[in-house]
Chain A
Amino acid sequence: MRSYIGKRLLAIIPIFLFATLLSFVLIHLSPVDPAEVYLTVAHIHPTEELLAEVRHEFGLDQPLLVQYVESLMKMCRLDFGTSYVTKEPVWQEVAHRMPATLQLAFSSICLAVLISVPIGFLSAVYKNSVIDHFSRLLAFFGASIPQFWLGYLLIFFLSVKLDLFPVQGKGTWAHLFLPSLTLSLGLIAIYTRLLRTSVLEQMQEPYVLYARTRGIKEKVIMGKHVLKIAISPMITGLGMNIGKLLSGTIIVEVVFSWPGFGRYFVEAILNRDIPVIQCYVFLVACIYIVCNLIVDLLQMVMDPRISWKGRTSP
């Protein structure tokens, strides 16, 4: 197990290097001079003299390779430079906003699990019943509706018309509910159907028939055995959807004025705030890698048939 984790951790290095190189190349392929952007967002008229000063200050007059290596070394120290717009250290800005984003993401995952597990499970147990039709409808709706539009709809009906929740901002549980629901609906759509399919598959397995013939209660079979195994693909899906969730927070944070990192990133893109963009790419790459590793380890813990060598035991 240790060697497996070690190998997986080593594999992070090339992935991380590739992600940072890609972001560096993409940023430098842009036709806009970062020094010019820096002065423009500061509302300073970019004379040639000032441009040269800024380029020197940021090391933009160095060869590209030197720039890349330096930025990589700084990243390892969590030094992403200062934001062009706020003139504050990027890491400080991110650290200030990240808790809000994580709170939103975590509550969305919790909400998605709380809603999709019972609905998915019951729609499999009561196949073709009302609850099954409802879950199918929910899945269609959740998978197809654009997040920003769903956000506006929820605000309009639940906030403006019914006055149940505040329209925007952060503070209480009430502020958290609508953005979490908006963000989680896409996940609910996926997990509900995934769990339903998985439970139906497990119900056809011989061990279920064997357990029934042994006289084990149906409740125990379904709850203790079937659900435990059927939930495994959902955990994989959860790991794979973390990225989707993070990109979703960008839209949801803007719609609900949620003061998180996603909103900050949107402004960074609009302002071409390169240090912030680089930091975001770095963080998202790290989150993807770590989440995938955690999901793999969790699955192994939950399903002993999956070996540490990465293949299923007979």
Chain B
Amino acid sequence: MRENLHRFFRAARGAGVRLSPAESIDAMRAVSKVGFADRTVLRDTFLLTLAKTQDEKKALGDCFDLFFDQPEPQSPPEDSKANQEDQSGSSPSSDSSDDASGGGEQAEGLGQLAQMLLAQDRNQISAAIANAASAASLSDIRYFTQRGIFSGRILDRMGIERLRDDLDNLAEANPALAERLTNALDGLRGTVRDTVSQALMLYGREEAENLRNEILRNAPLSRIEPRQVEQMRHLIRQIARRLRERYSKPRKRQRRGHLDVRRTIRRNAAWGGVPFLTAWKRRHRDRPKIVALCDVSGSVARVSDFFLLLIHSLHEVVDDVRSFAFSGHLIEVSDILESKSPEEAMAEIMSKVGFGSSDYGNSFDDFEHGWMSAITPQTTVIVLGDARSNNLDPRADILRRIAERSKRVVWLNPEGRMAWGWGDSEMPRYSTFCTVVRQCATAKQLERAVSDIVASYQ
């Protein structure tokens, strides 16, 4: 049973539930208290001890159902080796007992697997599959490409070699039986394939997910396929959460600083200098100030989703962010981002200013007239956009004034450096006024860029 628990933990990890050894120890302690008898209680116990979020509970619950749906190996793994030898080698002594179970007199001289198949004893077959599966360490399966290998291994262990010989022999002597056996073999192959697929679902998900995430991280945001968008969002949200975990703590630390001796003494003069009331030095700290300008025009439509998602998380990480979105003209979107969930906020922003053809000059002009006062010498201005202004006046002069007022201007461009300056790209002109210019085409680059910006405030 212990072995089984460990296999379950491995399956749970595969299902995306993060399990540390401490948690598995807890689970084992808990299980030792409730026992295995009641499956629903066992399920609740695992959900309580292992899963830490609602999502994890769901994943773990599914995993539990899938896992305990499998027939358990009938004999412990140590014995299985002996069993296989029995199965693969033709052992006449054990044949006699199987014959009686319904194989018929034709089955004589056949291998054990053949007899088992002909007998059509489902329990026996599934037990044999389970034994062979654990002998082939099926729980090591990680990638879908390994399915064939494991199926083959399991069938080998069950004695398929012998079965082939039997089939060859029977083809001449008893064609009808041979056909029955062939059909049964096909059925067996199917069952083994299902077992392997199930194992892959149980144990292989984590690797598959890691691989997929890694690919996604480095994939160009603008070329993400629609079906990957949801995964990408998930990934960006993970990035945002990591950012928040990493950076939101120090922001609040030390609200109360050291004892302010001078003020304490002055305050307590009335009590003869006995300090009943204490005064504390407040740590002075410039509040982080970020102004984000996000291009949501048609040319960057696919990327702007992710930009907005990241700005949204920026609002969660840093206190003082003001965000603006533009394509033809510019509006402030701070309130929308702060009060709504990412999806709602993005939908609203896109419906207000999205998808138009971009006009950087006009949008900068809007900004200068409406919100220039928002920029102080402590402000970092982030511009997210491809700097393609449809051959309209880029108004680089406004960016210069923004740069002069602010601490620095960071431009994140989803296009590769090669494309800057070609066609209607005004990047070279703008970049003279930017403190940092970065290509920002993949989730990884986006993460690093934002992480750098936030880190510089800590």
| Bound together | no
Residues of chain B touching chain A, judged by Cβ–Cβ distance below 8 Å, are: none
Residues of chain A touching chain B, judged by Cβ–Cβ distance below 8 Å, are: none
